[in-house]
Chains A and B, each alone.
Chain A
Amino acid sequence: GEDVEQSLFLSVREGDSSVINCTYTDSSSTYLYWYKQEPGAGLQLLTYIFSNMDMKQDQRLTVLLNKKDKHLSLRIADTQTGDSAIYFCAESMTAGSSNTGKLIFGQGTTLQVKP
């Protein structure tokens, strides 16, 4: 079945770049997402990429999509202590050619930013 994999933990120093990686299995996913979860809160959409794109940039965030390897990454430039959170990769689940509306989430990567 569909599966999304991420490493569980990443530690960086303030001001460095962070790169969070994710692999997925459903090659027909229409959208891939990055969600952020701050302590004690629900998930909020950080950014997403349409499956026919290779890259998307939004201020300090860069998303790279390699469809051949089914690999998605999120780069945060100039990482700040406020970026400390859990980051979830997710793919949209399809059935045939239709979007089911369901998302499959990875395990979440805890980003620790040291001052």
Chain B
Amino acid sequence: DVKVTQSSRYLVKRTGEKVFLECVQDMDHENMFWYRQDPGLGLRLIYFSYDVKMKEKGDIPEGYSVSREKKERFSLILESASTNQTSMYLCASSSPRAGKNGELFFGEGSRLTVL
């Protein structure tokens, strides 16, 4: 069964703390994505990666960074957490290979609360 695993389902952090959100996929997918989900706003793309050590900014990258040292792992980093980063974070992966429909496979999500 194909899987995207996010390491933490729930986190509570204090303002100014550094936060790491880890995501691992077992499908040998080239593409990996981090979205945040907020009520009424849907999913907004933070960062994405098409390959190892490669990253590109999405629509809302401010306050975030990412790391992709291995193909299966894509980490989201909040250098100094702020209350407006309280949200649900969703990791996803996909394959750009021919014959695929571009479907994104999602993890279960990490709900982050910043106090």
By a beta-carbon cutoff of 8 Å, the part of chain A in contact with chain B is: 4, 6, 8, 30-31, 33, 35, 40-45, 48, 50, 88, 92, 99, 101-103, 105-108
A41 to B68, CA, bound (A): 24
Q: Which residues of B contact A31 (CB under 8 A)?
A: 101-102
Q: Give the shortest distance, in Å, between A89 (CB) and chain B (any CB).
A: 9
A104 to B29, CA, bound (A): 19
A106 to B37, CA, bound (A): 11
Greatest chain A CB density within 10 A among B90, B106, B108 is at B106
Known contacts A105-B43, A107-B41: A43-B106 contact under CB 8 Å: yes
Is there contact, CB below 8 Å, between A106 and B106? Answer: no
Q: Which residues of A contact B48 (CB under 8 A)?
A: 101-102
A6 to B108, CA, bound (A): 23
Is there contact, CB below 8 Å, between B102 and A30? Answer: yes
By a beta-carbon cutoff of 8 Å, the part of chain B in contact with chain A is: 4, 31, 33, 35, 40-43, 45, 48, 50, 58, 90, 92, 94, 96, 101-104, 106-109
Is there contact, CB below 8 Å, between A101 and B31? Answer: yes
Of all A-B residue pairs in the complex, the 7 with the closest CB atoms, nearest first, are A42-B106, A107-B42, A105-B43, A43-B106, A101-B31, A42-B108, A105-B42
A88 to B35, CA, bound (A): 14
Q: Which residues of B contact A42 (CB under 8 A)?
A: 4, 90, 106-109
Q: Which residues of A contact B101 (CB under 8 A)?
A: 31, 48, 50
Q: Give the shortest distance, in Å, between A9 (CB) and chain B (any CB).
A: 10
> Which residue on chain A has the smallest CB distance to residue B35?
A105
Known contacts A43-B106, A102-B48: A107-B40 contact under CB 8 Å: yes
Q: List 29 A-B contacts (CB under 8 A).
A: A4-B42, A6-B42, A8-B40, A33-B103, A35-B106, A42-B4, A42-B90, A42-B107, A42-B108, A43-B90, A43-B92, A45-B104, A48-B101, A48-B103, A50-B101, A99-B96, A99-B102, A101-B31, A101-B48, A101-B94, A101-B96, A101-B102, A102-B33, A102-B45, A102-B48, A105-B35, A107-B40, A107-B42, A108-B42
